[in-house]
Amino acid sequence: MRDNPNPLSMQLKLNPDDFLPASDEEKQSLVVMRDSVSFWKDGLRRLGKNKIAMVSLVAVVIIMLFSFVVPSFYPYSYEEQIRGSENMAPMKYSEEEQARIDAGEHIFPHVLGTDKLGRDYAIRVMMGSRISLIVGLVAAVIILIIGSVFGSIAAFFGGWVDLIMMRIVDIIYTVPDILLIVLLSFALKAPLESLSQMPGFGWIQVVGRNLISIFIVFALLYWVGMARMVRSQILMLKESEYVTAARALGASNGRIIKKHLLTNCIGTLIVTTTLQIPSSIFTESFLSFLGLGVAVPMPSLGSLASDAINGLNTYPYLLFIPAILISLIILSFNLLGDGLRDAFDPKMKN
């Protein structure tokens, strides 16, 4: 037998007590068990740890405050034309205003200057981002509902139902969307106008029928991506072994849908919807830029940028402010969506 390098005589001080069996409590005290946490709790914790996502969330909240809350007590309105103060640079006052200030009156500064019709630009930008955010949020909800219903019906029924429904999706993909938007805004002109005369529909005038037709176009066209995704997700889940296992254990269809399909899809749905918001804002700004968006005098970030192009040489900030803001909104939603994906849908994470 080889000599043990470490016989019992050793450096360690041992006493007979050490060789008594350890109690369960003593054993447990050493086991560091991580708490098992629920899907939501775990996801939120991961989201909270993601600095980029939290910064984006804060940015979104701030932009929302400025778009929805601040305008209600802002001293200027988006359509109010202040005479004599056209095309003023930021923080400047018109002669008339200067005179009133000299007279001891307090006048709120035009933080971002005024446009060529003498309207306070700051409030217009805020209203513009309000429109963009409304478009993004409403469109995302519309797309979420139509897309997920369509996709899940196709996936559930399968066979020729699926085949026909997916063909429809393909065709919608192929029709140029601008064509439909323009044609729809022409087509909806008369019906919407007569509708706006009716009591309770006056808001259509304010929002503009173009914006309504944008929503209708989103409802008609842009759900296809969502539908494809939901369909493939459900098809995959339908084949997955735990669903088969649940079925083998005698779970009802309702239970399988509620317990397995829904909980597994919900992460993907949240993420896709969040990422849909910036893409809708993108489209709206593009259409407003073309003059197909909101009705004047209501501004949107796209139409503000479009209006500013002609004066680009002299008043570049009129273009840059809405341009930067729109990029910022899209960026924040994108990053927030990425963060949500990492937190709630680890399967999609790369």
Partner 1 sequence: MVRYILKRLGLAIVTIWIVATLTFFLMNMVPGGPFLSEKAVSPKALATLEEKYGLDKPLFEQYITYMKGAVHGDFGDSLKQRGRTVMSIITTKFPVSARVGGLAVLFSFLLGVPLGCISALNRGKAGDNAIIVIATCGIAVPSFVVCTVLMYIFGVRLKWLPTLGLSTWKNYIMPIAALAFYPTAYITRLMRSSMLDVLGQDYMRTARAKGLNQFISLFKHALRNAVLPVVTYLGPLLAYTVTGSFIVEKIFTIPGLGGEFIGSITSRDYTVIMGTTIFLAALMVIMNVIVDIVYKLVDPRIKLK
Partner 2 sequence: MSDYLVSIEHERLSFFTPAGEVKALNDVSFQVKQGEVLGIVGESGSGKSVTAYSLMGLTAYPGKLLGGSLDFNGHHINDMTEKQMQKIRGNEISIIFQDPMTSLNPVYTIGNQIREVIKLHTDKSKSEVQARAVELLELVGINEPERRLRQYPHELSGGMRQRVMIAIALACEPKLLIADEPTTALDVTIQAQILELMMSLKDKMGMAILMITHDLGVVASMCDRIAVMYAGNIVEYGTTDDIFYSPKHEYTKGLIRSIPRMDSKGHERLIPIEGTPVDLLNPPKGCPFASRCDKCMRICLREKAPVMYFGDVHYTSCWMNQKAELEGGTKE
What residues line the site for partner 1 (CB under 8 A)?
170-171, 173-176, 178-180, 182-183, 186-187, 189-190, 278, 282, 285-286, 289-290, 302, 305-306, 309, 312-313, 316, 319-320, 323, 326-328, 330-331, 334-335, 338, 350
* Binding piece for partner 2, criterion CB under 8 A, among 10-18, 67-75, 191-199, 267-275: 10-18
Q: Does 31 bind partner 2 (CB under 8 A)?
A: yes
Considering beta carbons, is residue 278 or 339 the nearer one to partner 2? 339
Q: Cα separation of 178 and 175, whole Å?
A: 9
Considering beta carbons, is residue 208 or 278 the nearer one to partner 1? 278
- Dig out the tokens for 55 from the structure: 């910064």
* Binding piece for partner 2, criterion CB under 8 A, among 7-15, 175-183, 241-249, 287-295: 7-15
CB distance 78 to 125 below 8 Å: no
Residue 43 Cβ vs partner 2, minimum distance, rounded to whole Å:
16
CA dihedral 314, 318, 320, 326 (to 10 degrees): -160
Q: Does 2 bind partner 2 (CB under 8 A)?
A: yes
Nearest CA among 283, 270, 247, 242 for reference residue 141: 270
19 touches, from partner 2, partner 1, none (C-beta below 5 to 8 Å by class): partner 2
309 touches, from partner 1, partner 2, none (C-beta below 5 to 8 Å by class): partner 1
249 touches, from partner 1, partner 2, none (C-beta below 5 to 8 Å by class): none
* Binding piece for partner 2, criterion CB under 8 A, among 21-29, 52-60, 67-75, 276-284: 21-29
Q: Is 83 left (phi over 0), alpha (psi -120 to 50) or beta?
A: beta
CA 237 to chain CA centroid, Å, is: 26
- Dig out the tokens for 120 from the structure: 């306070």
Q: Cα separation of 169 and 223, whole Å?
A: 9
How many Cα atoms within 13 Å fall on the side-chain side of residue 225? 13
Q: Cα separation of 121 and 115, whole Å?
A: 6
CB distance 227 to 166 below 8 Å: no
Q: Is residue 128 packed enough to be buried (19+ CB in 10 Å), middle (13-18) or exposed (0-12)?
A: buried
Q: Cα separation of 88 and 120, whole Å?
A: 9
Q: Does 26 bind partner 2 (CB under 8 A)?
A: yes
Q: Does 51 bind partner 2 (CB under 8 A)?
A: no
Q: Which amino acid is at 255?
A: R
Q: Cα separation of 294 and 307, whole Å?
A: 13
- List 25, 32, 64, 262, residue binding partner 2 (CB under 8 A): 32
26 touches, from partner 1, partner 2, none (C-beta below 5 to 8 Å by class): partner 2
Q: Does 19 bind partner 2 (CB under 8 A)?
A: yes
Q: Cα separation of 183 and 171, whole Å?
A: 17
- List 18, 25, 95, 105, residue binding partner 2 (CB under 8 A): 18
- List 30, 103, 179, 198, residue binding partner 2 (CB under 8 A): 30
Considering beta carbons, is residue 31 or 248 the nearer one to partner 2? 31
Q: Is residue 169 packed enough to be buried (19+ CB in 10 Å), middle (13-18) or exposed (0-12)?
A: buried
1 touches, from partner 1, partner 2, none (C-beta below 5 to 8 Å by class): partner 2
∠ Cα 285 345 253 (to 5°): 105
Considering beta carbons, is residue 147 or 302 the nearer one to partner 1? 302
Residue 344 Cβ vs partner 2, minimum distance, rounded to whole Å:
18
Q: Does 35 bind partner 2 (CB under 8 A)?
A: no
Residue 12 Cβ vs partner 2, minimum distance, rounded to whole Å:
6
Binding residues vs partner 2 (CB under 8 A) = 1-8, 10, 12, 14, 17-22, 26-28, 30-34
